[in-house]
């Protein structure tokens, strides 16, 4: 039997890409998955796919940048499911390449609201529940950009760096309650956003080709490779693992600090 049997999970940004892959994998491990996404139709598509494969999932439309909306969505999902929450995966994110000095306030605020404030909004609601339960796993999806920096994504890199430090800090605070918090730091990964970049023209193709060459394994990652690490950190095999930032990047982090 899977170590996630009988567990309840929430995955944010699970309407597509990496979040969808994580939700599918958790459901395959027999967890009940709350598919949270700002795009209600996309969340329903993920749920339909999970149900068609014999899994259990519930779609929840939620804007994670809105703290009040997060509180309502999480409490509503928990009340209608098992009454507890065992796993939270803070995956939702958004980014767009732009030199920092060319960004405007609205752009910087949007990236910060989704990638940083959204993670905090979800975590504070769920962590309070997990602390009261005396158990739980929180897995934050970070980025190599948050560890080494990356040109053209300064605000995003700053947010992901904050997520790494935040995760380590609350891991120290909540270890006594058996609430374990880790960050999965991804390198370049094949997502819908990456596909749009490739299809944007020759510059996009050259950029993605350059990323592939920068990875020692010679390719960008796949969404289900991130999902495998999430399942491990959510399961019994990781019951003594907390406060870690783990790279899933084909060895790319070896080239940086």
Q: Is residue 50 part of a domain?
A: yes
Domain count within the chain: 1
Tell me: the pLDDT tens digits for 66-117? 999 999 999 999 999 988 999 999 999 998 888 899 999 999 999 999 999 9
Q: Is residue 198 part of a domain?
A: no
Q: For position 249, what pLDDT does the model report? A: 85
Domain range for 148 is: 8-186+222-248
| Residues in the chain, pLDDT under 50 | 1, 256-257
Q: For position 192, what pLDDT does the model report? A: 64
Q: Is residue 100 part of a domain?
A: yes
Q: Is residue 194 part of a domain?
A: no
Q: Is residue 204 part of a domain?
A: no
| Residue 130: CATH number of its domain | 3.40.50.720
Phi, psi of 185, deg, nearest 5 = -95, 110
Which residue among 25, 156, 182, 238 is the active-site one? 156
Instruction: Extract the runs of DSSP E, i.e. beta strands, from 116-220.
Output: 136-143, 179-186, 189-190
Strand order in the sheet with 32-37: 56-61, 32-37, 8-12, 87-90, 136-143, 179-186, 245-248
Q: Is residue 208 part of a domain?
A: no
Q: Is residue 195 part of a domain?
A: no
Helix (H) or strand (E) holding 173: helix 154-174
Residues 6+ apart with CB under 8 A from 83: none
- The distance of Cα 51 from the centroid of its chain, to the nearest Å, equals 22
Q: For position 201, what pLDDT does the model report? A: 65
Clarify whether 156 is annotated catalytic: yes
Q: For position 257, what pLDDT does the model report? A: 43
Q: Is residue 112 part of a domain?
A: yes
């Amino acid at each position: 039997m899977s170590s996630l049997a009988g567990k309840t999970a929430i995955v944010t940004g699970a309407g597509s890409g990496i979040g969808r892959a994580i939700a599918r994998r958790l459901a395959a491990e027999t967890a009940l998955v709350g598919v949270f996404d700002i795009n209600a139709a996309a969340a329903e598509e993920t749920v339909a796919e999970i149900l068609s494969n014999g899994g259990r999932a519930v779609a929840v439309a939620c804007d994670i940048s809105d703290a009040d909306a997060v509180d309502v969505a999480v409490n509503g999902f928990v009340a209608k499911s098992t009454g507890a929450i065992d796993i939270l995966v803070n995956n939702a994110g958004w980014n767009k390449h732009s030199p920092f000095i060319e960004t405007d306030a609205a752009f910087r605020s949007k990236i910060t609201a989704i990638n940083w404030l959204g993670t905090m909004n979800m975590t504070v609601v769920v962590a309070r529940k997990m602390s009261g339960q005396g158990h739980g796993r929180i897995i934050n999806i970070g980025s190599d950009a948050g560890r080494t920096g990356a040109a053209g994504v300064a605000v995003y890199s700053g947010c992901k760096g904050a997520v790494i430090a935040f995760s380590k800090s609350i891991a120290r605070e909540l270890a006594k309650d058996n609430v374990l918090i880790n960050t999965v730091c991804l390198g370049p990964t094949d997502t819908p956003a990456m596909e749009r970049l490739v299809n944007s023209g020759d510059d996009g193709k050259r950029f993605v080709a350059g990323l592939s060459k920068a990875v020692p394994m010679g390719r960008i990652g796949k969404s289900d490779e991130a999902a495998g690490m999430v399942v491990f950190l959510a399961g019994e095999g990781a019951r003594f693992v907390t406060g870690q930032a783990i790279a899933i990047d084909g060895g790319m982090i070896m080239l940086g600090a």
